[in-house]
């Protein structure tokens, strides 16, 4: 491991490029805009002239936000505070440098500039390029596992919200014709915490503020305490207990709510409203998901009036009209939530372990403590050539190979429809193979030959992929009606007149491998916008709207499958069985869909 100065490895080329102001971002478009925000993609533009001309990949650094992004596709630069960093590939592997920079702990100077701190760091660079690639491969795989686990947790949240809609309908539209009641008449008590700032103590009784109310729990880790006399005084009016609902009434997280699931004594600040449910009318779980519903949330804010600071007021909250479904149905929903929350906690525990592993791997990798001898990497990621190795001198035979590669590359750049020129290029490839054959067995292949080989392999792979996918539909051209037809043909069992069970992974595999070309498939915020699917911005939204019965061509039912209990029998296709047969019971657990009749 050697240490290199920042300037020897990284060049800041930001000044060479035009930046797009945020007001000119589009919500969808042909080209992605990358900025310093936490979302991977900031927006879109249709102006090709704004796409930067550079050698990819590049590393984007948020000068204000301290966020790093690894970009290997054409993009436009958004807003202020973006740094476009190029890695000197003669000295380092770009993705390795990206992961190292992500591990650096920069001081937080608020909304000030941070690049001045970053460029003072020396970069630990393994002398072998192979080791740099191995390290980035290890960290990349760990990062992918973390992303997948987070998406599984998010999908459980989507599942519970859509299950609420399926069981109870929209609480404002009331399509199921439930009885209405005022929330104040359906709860034992609605009040809030202490409005005067109390004196905090080092120990005593917990006092919970708005920031301590999380989406799935009350956070007691901030260790804010009040004395026993204050606690007794505050809880005379407002005494939160297990099963109560807490609702944030003002501030950045206004409207956030959670059911209390602890027995420890605590009191509340005035920014948190307490709702004691009357479990003969409305359960705490039902009220919690009632407030998580977008349409009721909007009504809640409007009903509470307007002021300089947006807030939810108790008087307005008590007057909110709410549906009152049968208590048996509410209890059934509570059981579903309890099981899903149990699985979510298991997933979160696993996520915590993965994040700790990621941190440990990163630290050991950048300190040169990882054993890389058993790590395999793709051939395309690495060539065994270094500057110190000796190669055959450039001769006529080498020049012929390079010239042939250059010729094929130039011809390929003119191609607009691959199918029409496949036969002609087969002849080019045959000539190339004859020229290149003598160099394949050399122990040390000249860098110029390797570069030529990589170019030709890439072009050949495009022809190969095209032959496989020429009958496929493109995601940006396919209609929602076509997708619905494909799914029905695959997953409706005509003999039994019922649907097979499918999950997101199975559905994506089927569409991607057999019928549709997905130009990009990342997490939701990274997915390519699809102008043809008006009811969906991405693959997951397609499923969500089918669940909400808002897709005119496809309706899906959803079920929570507990692999430990095997609460129902999975009816899946033989291809999908191959996907899950080696998974553990916990890994098989999750959300499955069936096609509605």
Rounded to an integer, what distance in angstroms lies between the CA atom of residue 453 and that of residue 384? 14
Q: Using DSSP bridges, classify how beta strands 321-324 and 473-474 pair: parallel, antiparallel or unpaired.
A: unpaired
Tokens (6 digits) for 15: 């000044």
- Please indicate whether residue 179 or residue 467 has the higher confidence score (pLDDT): 179
Residue at 260 is within a domain = yes
Tokens (6 digits) for 132: 């740099």
Q: Specify whether 319 is located in the same domain as 186.
A: yes
Tell me the residue range of the domain where 427 lies.
Answer: 392-469
Last residue of a domain, one of 429, 452, 469: 469
Q: What is the mean pLDDT of residues 342-368?
A: 88
Q: Specify whether 184 is located in the same domain as 312.
A: yes
Residue 586 is predicted with a pLDDT of 78
Q: What is the mean pLDDT of residues 360-383?
A: 74
Closest CA to 147 of 40, 9, 291, 29: 40
Q: Specify whether 421 is located in the same domain as 451.
A: yes
Q: Specify whether 516 is located in the same domain as 535.
A: yes
Residue 77 is predicted with a pLDDT of 94
Q: How confident is the model at residue 384 (pLDDT cuts 50, 70, 90)?
A: very low
**For residue 198, what is the DSSP state?**
P
Residue at 501 is within a domain = yes
Number of folded domains that form the chain: 4
Q: Specify whether 192 is located in the same domain as 319.
A: yes
Domain containing residue 243: CATH number: 3.90.220.20
Using DSSP, state whether 321 is helix, strand or coil.
Answer: strand
Q: Report pLDDT digits (tens) over 25-61.
A: 998 888 899 999 999 999 999 888 899 888 889 999 9
Residue count of the chain, please give it.
597
Q: What is the mean pLDDT of residues 234-249?
A: 95
Q: What is the CA radius of gyration of the chain?
A: 29
Residue at 104 is within a domain = yes
State percent of the chain over pLDDT 70: 81
C-alpha atoms less than 13 angstroms from C-alpha of 239 in its C-beta half-sphere: 6
Is the CB of residue 164 less than 8 Å from the CB of residue 325?
Answer: no
Residue at 172 is within a domain = no
Residue at 371 is within a domain = no
Residue at 141 is within a domain = no
Q: Report pLDDT digits (tens) over 96-129.
A: 999 999 999 998 887 789 999 999 999 999 988 8
Last residue of a domain, one of 469, 494, 516: 469
Q: Report pLDDT digits (tens) over 310-320.
A: 789 999 899 99
Q: Specify whether 258 is located in the same domain as 294.
A: yes
Residue 394 is predicted with a pLDDT of 45
Rounded to an integer, what distance in angstroms lies between the CA atom of residue 247 and that of residue 253? 10
Residue 537 is predicted with a pLDDT of 39
Residue 525 is predicted with a pLDDT of 34
Which spans in 371-395 are helix H?
Answer: none
Asked if the peptide bond before residue 269 counts as cis, ω within 30 degrees of 0, the response is no
**For residue 583, what is the DSSP state?**
S
Q: Specify whether 451 is located in the same domain as 489.
A: no
Residue at 299 is within a domain = yes
Is the CB of residue 210 less than 8 Å from the CB of residue 253?
Answer: yes
Strands, E assignment, 193-296: 205-208, 225-226, 245-248, 257-259, 266-268, 272-277
Q: Specify whether 185 is located in the same domain as 307.
A: yes
Residue at 168 is within a domain = no
Using DSSP, state whether 26 is helix, strand or coil.
Answer: strand
Q: Specify whether 99 is located in the same domain as 211.
A: no
Residue 534 is predicted with a pLDDT of 33
Residue 516 is predicted with a pLDDT of 62
Q: Specify whether 450 is located in the same domain as 532.
A: no
Last residue of a domain, one of 469, 502, 519: 469
Residue 441 is predicted with a pLDDT of 62
Rounded to an integer, what distance in angstroms lies between the CA atom of residue 113 and that of residue 468? 49
Rounded to an integer, what distance in angstroms lies between the CA atom of residue 514 and that of residue 107? 49
Q: How far is CA 447 from CA 131, 434, 529, in A?
A: 19, 19, 39
Q: Specify whether 509 is located in the same domain as 458.
A: no
Q: Specify whether 190 is located in the same domain as 310.
A: yes
């Amino acid at each position: 491991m050697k240490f290199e100065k920042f300037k020897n490895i990284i060049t800041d080329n930001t000044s060479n490029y035009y930046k797009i102001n945020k007001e000119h971002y589009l919500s969808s478009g042909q080209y992605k805009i990358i900025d310093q925000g936490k979302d991977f993609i900031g927006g879109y533009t249709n102006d090709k002239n704004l796409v930067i001309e550079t050698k990819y990949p590049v590393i984007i650094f948020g000068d204000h936000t301290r966020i790093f992004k690894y970009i290997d596709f054409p993009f436009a630069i958004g807003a202020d505070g973006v740094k476009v960093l190029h890695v000197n590939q003669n000295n380092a592997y770009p993705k390795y440098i990206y992961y190292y920079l992500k591990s650096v702990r920069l001081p937080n100077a608020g909304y000030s500039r941070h690049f001045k701190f970053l460029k003072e760091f020396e970069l630990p660079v393994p002398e072998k390029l192979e080791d740099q690639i191995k390290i980035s491969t290890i960290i990349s795989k760990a990062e992918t596992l973390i992303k997948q686990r987070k998406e599984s947790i998010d999908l459980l949240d989507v599942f519970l919200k859509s299950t609420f809609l399926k069981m109870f309908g929209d609480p404002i539209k009331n399509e199921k014709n439930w009885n209405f009641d005022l929330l104040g008449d359906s709860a034992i008590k609605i009040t809030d915490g202490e409005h005067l700032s109390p004196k905090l103590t080092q120990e005593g009784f917990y006092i919970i503020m708005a920031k301590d109310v999380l989406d799935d729990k009350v956070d007691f880790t901030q260790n804010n305490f009040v004395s026993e006399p204050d606690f007794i005084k505050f809880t005379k009016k407002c005494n939160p207990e297990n099963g109560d609902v807490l609702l944030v009434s003002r501030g950045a997280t206004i409207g956030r709510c959670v059911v209390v699931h602890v027995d420890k004594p605590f009191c509340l600040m005035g920014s948190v409203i307490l709702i004691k449910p009357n479990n003969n009318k409305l359960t705490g779980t039902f009220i919690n998901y009632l407030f998580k519903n977008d349409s009721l949330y909007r009504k809640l804010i409007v009903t509470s009036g307007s002021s300089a600071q947006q807030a939810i007021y108790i008087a307005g909250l008590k007057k909110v009209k709410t549906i009152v479904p049968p208590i048996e149905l509410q209890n059934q929903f509570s059981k579903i939530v309890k099981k899903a929350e149990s699985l979510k906690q298991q997933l979160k525990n696993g996520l915590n372990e993965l994040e700790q592993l990621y941190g440990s791997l990163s630290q050991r990798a950048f300190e040169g403590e990882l054993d890389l001898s058993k790590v395999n990497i793709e051939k395309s990621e690495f060539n065994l050539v270094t500057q110190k190795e000796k190669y055959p001198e450039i001769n006529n035979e080498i020049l012929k190979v390079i010239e042939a590669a250059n010729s094929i590359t130039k011809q390929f750049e003119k191609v607009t429809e691959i199918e029409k020129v496949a036969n002609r290029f087969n002849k080019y490839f045959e000539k190339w193979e004859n020229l290149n054959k003598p160099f394949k067995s050399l122990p040390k292949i000249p860098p110029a030959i390797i570069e030529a080989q990589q170019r030709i392999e890439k072009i050949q792979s495009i022809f190969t992929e095209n032959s496989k996918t020429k009958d496929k539909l493109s995601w940006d051209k396919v209609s929602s009606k076509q997708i619905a037809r494909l799914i029905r043909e695959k997953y409706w069992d005509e003999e039994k007149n019922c649907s097979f069970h499918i999950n997101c992974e199975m559905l994506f595999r089927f569409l991607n491998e057999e019928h549709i070309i997905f130009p990009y498939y990342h997490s939701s915020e990274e997915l390519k916008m699809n102008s043809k699917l008006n009811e969906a911005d991405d693959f997951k939204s397609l499923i969500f709207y089918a669940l909400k019965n808002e897709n005119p061509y496809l309706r899906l039912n959803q079920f929570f499958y507990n692999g430990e209990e095997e609460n129902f029998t999975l009816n899946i296709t033989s291809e999908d069985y191959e996907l899950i047969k080696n998974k553990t019971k916990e890994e098989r657990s999750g959300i499955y869909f069936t096609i509605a009749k």
